[in-house]
Amino acid sequence: MANDKSSMQLITRGILSENPIFKLALSMCPAVGISTTVMNGIMLGIAVLFVQVFSSVTISLFKNLIHPRIRIPTYTLTIATWVTVIDLVLAAYMPEAYAKMGIFVKLIVAFAIITMRLEMFACKESVNDSFWDGLGMGLGFMVGMVVIGFVRELLGSGMILGYDVLGFKPLLFFILPSAGFFVVGLMMAFFNWIEVYYKRSKGLK
Amino acid sequence: MRDIITIVVRLTVSCLLAATVMGLCFIFTSNAKKHNEHVKEQQVMYELLGYKGGAAIPESLAMHEVYRYVISNSEKQSIGYLVPAGHGEDGKFLFVNIDLDGTMIESKPVTLSAIEALEAETRNKAVLAAVSPGNTVTFADQTIVVTENGNRIAYLLGGKFQGFKTFVHVMLAVDPAFSFVGMEILEHEEDPGLGAEIEQDYFKNQFKGKPFAALKAIDVVKAPIPDDYFKALTGKVSDDDIMQFREQYKDKDIYALTGATISTKAVAYGVKGIVTKFAYRVTVLDKVLKEQQLAVSF
Average pLDDT over every residue of B44-59: 77
CB contact burial B72-102 (16+ within 10 A = b; e otherwise): eeeeeebbbbbbbbeeeeeebbbbbbbeeee
Mean pLDDT computed over A7-24: 81
Q: How far is CA A85 from CA A53, A81, B13, in A?
A: 14, 6, 19
**B chain contacts of residue A88, beta-carbon cutoff 8 Å:** 22, 25-26, 29, 33
Higher pLDDT, A33 or B285: B285
Mean pLDDT of all residues in B74-92: 77
| Chain B residue with the nearest C-alpha to that of A65 | B10
- What integer pLDDT is reported at residue B23 of this predicted model? 93
Cβ–Cβ of B40/A95 closer than 8 Å? yes
Mean pLDDT along residues B54-70: 80
| Residue B54 in this model has a pLDDT that exceeds 70 | no
Chain A, nearest residue to B9 by Cα:
A67
Number of C-beta neighbours around residue A84 at 10 A: 18
Please, which pLDDT band fits residue B100 given cuts at 50, 70 and 90?
A: confident
- At residue B12, the pLDDT reads 92
**Inter-chain contact B22–A70, Cβ cutoff 8 Å?**
no
CB spacing of A70 vs B11 below 8 angstroms: yes
| Nearest Cβ partner for A81 among B10, B18, B40 | B18
Specify the range with the lowest mean pLDDT, choosing from A54-58, B14-18, B65-69. Answer: B65-69
Percent share of chain B, pLDDT over 90: 10
Contact at CB, B25 and A88, closer than 8 angstroms = yes
Residue B7: its chain A contacts at CB < 8 A? 67, 69-70
Distances (CA, A) of B278 to A25, A137, B157, B177, B182: 58, 57, 8, 12, 16
Give how far Cα B47 sits from Cα of A55, A125, B125, B167, B270, Å.
41, 54, 32, 23, 21
Q: Report CB contact under 8 Å: B25, A84.
A: yes
How close is the nearest chain B Cα to the Cα of A99, in Å? 11
Q: Which residue of A has its CA nearest to B12?
A: A74
Partners of residue A61 in chain B, C-beta under 8 Å: none
Average pLDDT for B214-242: 85
Residue A107 confidence (pLDDT) above 50: yes
Are residues A70 and B10, on separate chains, in Cβ contact within 8 Å? yes
Mutate to test the interface with B, among A54, A64, A76, A85 (most CBs of B within 10 A): A85
Q: Is the pLDDT of residue A191 over 70?
A: yes
Q: Confidence band (pLDDT; 50, 70, 90) for A82?
A: very high
Average pLDDT, integer, range A160-177:
75
Is a pLDDT exceeding 80 seen at residue A76? yes
Domain boundaries, chain B: 1-57, 61-149, 153-281
The 3-class secondary structure across chain A, one letter per residue, is CCCCCCHHHHHHHHHHHCCCCCCCCCCHHHHHHCCCCHHHHHHHHHHHHHHHHHHHHHHHHCCCCCCHHHHHHHHHHHHHHHHHHHHHHHHHHCHHHHHHHHHHHHHHHHCHHHHHHHHHHHCCCCHHHHHHHHHHHHHHHHHHHHHHHHHHHHHHHCEECCEECCCCCCCHHHHCHHHHHHHHHHHHHHHHHHHHHHHHHCCCC
* Most confident stretch, B40-54, B59-73, B160-174: B160-174
Distance between CA atoms of B270 and B186, rounded to whole angstroms?
14
Distance, in Å, from the CA atom of A103 to the CA atom of A101, rounded to the nearest integer, reads 6
B interface with A, Cβ–Cβ below 8 Å:
3, 6-7, 10-11, 14-15, 18, 21-22, 25-26, 29-30, 32-33, 36, 40
Indicate the range of A62-76, A91-105, B8-22, B56-70 predicted with least confidence. A91-105
- Asked whether residue A1 carries a pLDDT value surpassing 50, the answer given is no
Task: State mean pLDDT over A190-202.
Answer: 86
Mean pLDDT, all residues of chain B: 84
Residues 6 or more apart whose Cβ sits within 8 Å of residue B60: B148, B149
A77 and B15: CB-CB below 8 Å? yes
More confident residue, B80 or A165: B80
pLDDT confidence bin for A2, thresholds 50/70/90? low
- Whether the per-residue pLDDT at B295 is higher than 50: the answer is yes
The CA-based angle A18-A155-A171, given to 5 degrees, is 130
More confident residue, B230 or A205: B230
Residue B18 to chain A, least CA–CA distance (Å): 6
pLDDT of res. B89:
60
Q: Is the pLDDT at B87 greater than 70, yes or no?
A: no
Least confident of A7-16, A72-81, B82-91, B264-273: B82-91
Handedness of CA A44, A50, A53, A59 (dihedral sign): negative
H or E stretch at B69: strand B61-72
Residues of B in contact with A95 (CB under 8 A): 36, 40
Asked if residue B88 has pLDDT above 60, the reply is no
Q: Which of B182-190's residues contact partners 24+ apart within 8 Å by CB, and which partners?
A: B182/B47, B182/B48, B182/B49, B182/B50, B182/B208, B183/B48, B183/B207, B183/B271, B184/B44, B184/B47, B184/B48, B186/B44, B188/B163, B189/B163, B189/B165, B190/B163, B190/B164, B190/B165, B190/B260, B190/B263
Q: What residues in A contact B9, CB-CB < 8 Å?
A: none
For residue range B257-268, list pLDDT tens digits in order. Answer: 888 889 999 999
Residue B169 burial (C-beta neighbours within 10 Å; 0-12, 13-18, 19+): middle
Q: What mean pLDDT do residues B97-125 have?
A: 80
Q: Which of B18, B25, B36 sits opposite A89 (nearest CB)?
A: B25
Q: Is the dihedral of CA B107, B113, B117, B120 positive or negative?
A: negative
Residues of B in contact with A89 (CB under 8 A): 25, 29
Asked whether the beta carbons of residue B21 and residue A67 sit closer than 8 angstroms, the reply is: no
C-alpha closest to that of B66 among B158, B131, B133: B158
Which whole number is the average pLDDT over B241-256? Answer: 84
pLDDT at B7 over 80: yes
In this predicted model, what pLDDT tens digit does every residue of B133-182 receive, in sequence order? 778 888 888 888 888 887 888 899 888 899 888 899 898 999 888 888 88
The pLDDT of residue A3: 66
Q: Give the range among B1-5, B117-121, B229-233, B264-268 with minimum mean pLDDT.
A: B117-121
- Among B36, B44, B199, most A C-beta atoms within 10 A, so best to mutate, is B36
Q: Do residue B18 and residue A91 have CB atoms under 8 angstroms apart?
A: no
